[in-house]
Amino acid sequence: MTVSTDAILETATRVLAASPTATLADVARAAGISRTTLFTRFATREELLLALAADAIDRTDAAIAASGIADASKDPVITLADLTEAMMPLGARLGYLLRERSLDENAELQERWSRIDRTITDAVRRAQAADRVRADLPALWVADAWFWLVVAAWEGIEAGRIAPVDGVRLVISTLLDGAGSR
């Protein structure tokens, strides 16, 4: 049985999200492959981590493009909701990108992540300008909150604490309304 690189990356993302210090042997075991098979695709842990990050960024870029969030003529809250829906299945990958500090020194990945971050922050600024998101909060803060809310919703769905159909609503309502009582 041949296991695809995508399947290995998916498994590695889940393993490393649950246990950031997991070894390549742990990843191979979880993927149901031998360490030799894993080493033929990723010779080092760093190589695997870089492949995971590149894959996560590629998928995030695709979700951003599909959501139309860069279109300044669209309602910014609707586009944030559309992006949230597109990103929900990528929660493990997004969590990995946000948590894995070993990638901070890679200039190419940092540039790609900065472009993603700017896109989300620009969407937040448009929502602030439309008086849909509080303008007294820094847009970068709100964008960071959105990233972590997506990860939290994905983790809640994975753990069975929230229903999958509620993920987007919970992210957007928390982002727009907070958690305070009305």
pLDDT of 35-90, one tens digit each?
999 999 999 999 999 999 999 999 999 999 988 887 888 888 898 999 999 999 99
Instruction: Return the pLDDT at 182.
Output: 65
Locate 123 and state its tokens. Answer: 């969407």
Q: Where are the domains of the chain?
A: 1-43, 53-177
- Tell me the CATH number of domain 53-177, given options 1.10.1760, 2.50.20, 3.40.50, 1.10.357: 1.10.357
Instruction: Return the pLDDT at 14.
Output: 87
> Mean per-residue pLDDT for 11-15?
91
Does the pLDDT value for residue 98 go beyond 90? no
**Nearest Cα residue to 88 out of 172, 12, 18:** 172
Does the pLDDT value for residue 1 go beyond 90? no
Locate 59 and state its tokens. Answer: 């998928």
What distance in Å separates the CA atoms of residue 3 and residue 88, rounded to the nearest whole number? 24
The secondary structure of the chain, three-state, reads: CCCCHHHHHHHHHHHHHHCCCCCHHHHHHHHCCCHHHHHHHCCCHHHHHHHHHHHHHHHHHHHHHHHCCCCCCCCHHHHHHHHHHHHHHHHHHHHHHHHCHHHCCCHHHHHHHHHHHHHHHHHHHHHHHCCCCCCCCCHHHHHHHHHHHHHHHHHHHHHCCCCHHHHHHHHHHHHHHCCCCC
What distance in Å separates the CA atoms of residue 140 and residue 164, rounded to the nearest whole number? 27
What distance in Å separates the CA atoms of residue 142 and residue 121, rounded to the nearest whole number? 8
Q: For residue 11, what pLDDT band results from cuts at 50, 70 and 90?
A: very high
| Percent of the chain clearing pLDDT 90 (strictly above) | 70
Does the pLDDT value for residue 178 go beyond 90? no
Q: In the predicted model, what is the mean pLDDT of the chain?
A: 91
- Tell me the CATH number of domain 1-43, given options 1.10.10, 2.40.160, 1.10.150, 3.30.1120: 1.10.10
- Confirm whether pTM is higher than 0.85: yes
| Percent of the chain clearing pLDDT 70 (strictly above) | 99
Looking at per-residue pLDDT, the higher value among 178 and 171 belongs to 171
Among 78-82, 137-141, 177-181, the least confident range = 177-181
